[in-house]
A and B are shown apart, each in its own frame.
Chain A
C-alpha cells in the first residue's frame, strides 16, 4: 500500500479515537448515568455537573501524569539503581561514576558557556532589532525575516551552518562563506572551524543565537510598544538624547520582560541536543549535557549514569520551575 494512504488511515484512527472518547463519555453521562429528566432530574443534573469536569480533564491528567510527572520520579529512581545488577539500589554510585568522567565535566563547562552566551547575545540582538525596526516603514518585513529561523529545525539549521563553516583544501576555491572571507582577508590556510576546541563551541552557539534572536525580538518589540508614550515624551522635553532614552527610560520599563525572555532561552539552551548531535556529536570538546545524556542512554546504554545526568538537567531547571509556579499562583489570587 502507498505510504501516504497507510499514513492517512492511521491518522484517522488516532484522531477519531480521541474525539470519540469525549463525545461518547459525555453522552453516557447525560443519557445513561444521570439523565436530566424523570423524578430526580434536579439531583441528576447536579451530579452530572460534578463529574463532568473530571471527564473533560481525565485524558489530559493521565497524559501529564504518565508522560511528564511519573518520569521525573522514575528517572530519579533509575539514577539510584544499577541496570546490570537487576536494578539493585546503589545509592549515589552512578553520580560518583559520572563526576569521575572528564566528558561530563566538559559537558558541564560547555553548558555553562552556552548558558552565559546564548541568552545574553540573543536577548541583546533581539532588543537591538526590536528597537531599530520600531520606527521604520519596512520594520515588519525586517522583523519577519529575522524571525524566520524560528521555523527551521535544529537539524536544518545544522545543515545550513555546516555549509557556512565548510572548509576546502588549501588552494582551491572555498565554498563555505566563513573560510572564503577568512582566506580573502588573512591570506592564510582555510580552517576546520568546528574542530578547534573552545572556539568551536562558539560556532555552535552562533547557530542557536541565530535561531533565538527572532523569539527575543518578537517579545521585546511588543514590550517596547507597551511603554507609555508620556514617559518618553517627558524625557525628550528634558533634553535626553536617544541613547539615554533607550537605556534609562525604555530598558528599565521592560526589565521583567527581558527576564522572561532570558529564562525562556535558558530553558532552550539546557535542552539543546539536536544541534550538537547533528553538527559535531560532542566531538572536539563540544559535548553538552543533553547530548552526553543521549550518549549514555543509547550508545553506552548505561541507564544509571544517563538518568543521573538527566537529573542534573532537571536540577538546573528547578529554580525556573519554582519561579514560574510562584508567579502563576500570585496571578490567580
Chain B
C-alpha cells in the first residue's frame, strides 16, 4: 500500500491527521478531569478547564494596604506595595471606581477622590502619595483587568487524602480497595495455576469435560450469583466482609484465569516436563520449579486483568463487602456516593476520581505488554 504512485504523500498526511484527531478525541475527556482536579472550586465553576491552560484575562477587585502602614518620606505620606504578592500577573488597564474599571493604563497615575494620587504599574506594584495623612481603617479599592498565567493547586489532593477530618476523604477507601484487591488478585492466580497445570499436563478421567465446564462458565454473568451467594454467605456466617469479597472475586475470576493459564501451559515444550519426570522430580516440584517460572507471562497477564477488574469493581463490593456501618467502603462506591451528595462540586469529584484512576493507569502503562498479550490469548482462540 505504501508504493502506489501518486497517492502516497496525501494519504500519509490524511492518516497522520486523522490519527492525531482520534487520539485527541480519546484523551480530551480524561485530561479535562485531570486538569480540573488541580483547580480551585471557583476556577472550575467559572471557566471551562480548557481555558485554564492558557493565560486568562480576569477582572479583579483588589485593595491597597491600610492607611496605618503609611510612611512619611520627604514630606509626602506614602503607601507602597504589591497588589498580587509576587504572582506573575500582567495588568493592562485599571481603575479606582467600580463604574470605571478601565480608566487608566498601567503606569498612569490617578487622582484619588479623598485626596492624593495612586500609580499602578503593569506588574502590580502600586504607590500612593498624599501631602496630608491617609485616613480611614481600610485601604482603597483598585479594580484591575489583568492577564494571569495558568494557576494550579494541589490543595484538592491534600484535602481528599491527608485531612483525617474530611468525611468525603478517600484515604480510608483507598486502603479498603487495596485490602480487597491484593488477595483478590493473588488467590485466584494460585488456585488457577494449580488447576490449569492439572488440566494441561496430568492425565485423569473427565479432563475434557472439566475444560468444557470452565469454558462454559467464562460467560456466566456474575449478576446471577449475587442473591444466591449473599444468602449463602449470610447463612454460613461469612457475612459481609473481606473474606466473602475475596472468595467472590476468586470465583468470578477463576474461569478466565484457568482458561488463560491452561492454554499457555499446554504450549510449553513436552520434553522439559518429561525429562524432569524421568529424572525423578515429583509433580509438585515440576509445577513449582519448572512450570510456574515458565508461565510468568501468562501469570502476569491474568494478574493485570484481575487487578484492574477488582480495583475498578463496584457491584461485588456493594453486594458482598459494604455493610451498613460504611467502614469498609471502597473507592468506587465512595465516588458514586459523592456523585449523589456532591454532584456539582467538581473539585471533589475530579480529585476523588483521579485518586482511584491513578493506580490502574500506572499499572496499565507499566505492564501494557502483558495486558495486550493476555487479551490476545483470551479472545483470539
Contacts and interface: CB of A to CB of B under 8 A. Distances in A.
Contacts of B272: none
A190 interface: no
A146 B30 CA distance: 11
A75 B375 contact: no
B288 to A, nearest CB: 9
B210 interface: yes
A295 interface: no
Interface in A149-203: 149-156, 158-164, 166, 172-177, 180
A120 interface: no
A135 B339 contact: no
Contact of B15 (A15, A132, A173): A132
A7 to B, nearest CB: 4
A135 B215 CA distance: 36
A210 interface: yes
Interface string A40-60: 000000000110111011011
Given A56-B195, A329-B212, A324 B218 contact: yes
A121 interface: no
B273 to A, nearest CB: 14
Nearest to B16: A136
Given A14-B187, A242-B1, A159 B339 contact: yes
A150 B252 contact: no
Interface stretch (A92-100, A102-110, A260-268): A260-268
A219 B48 contact: no
A328 B195 contact: no
A124 interface: no
A175 B308 contact: no
A314 B224 contact: yes
- Label chain B's interface by main secondary structure: helix
A71 B21 CA distance: 46
Interface string A58-82: 0111011011111110110010000
Contacts of A7: 175-176, 178-179
Given A22-B194, A150-B364, A242-B1, A321 B33 contact: no
Nearest to B216: A325
Contact of A64 (B26, B255, B381): B255
A139 B16 CA distance: 9
23 contacts: A3-B175, A3-B176, A7-B178, A7-B179, A57-B210, A60-B191, A63-B250, A64-B213, A66-B232, A68-B217, A128-B22, A132-B18, A133-B19, A147-B368, A148-B30, A151-B361, A156-B312, A163-B346, A164-B29, A242-B4, A273-B314, A303-B227, A321-B219
Given A57-B194, A177-B32, A264-B379, 13 more contacts: A6-B179, A14-B246, A60-B195, A68-B225, A68-B255, A133-B19, A146-B26, A156-B356, A160-B30, A236-B1, A271-B223, A313-B224, A324-B216
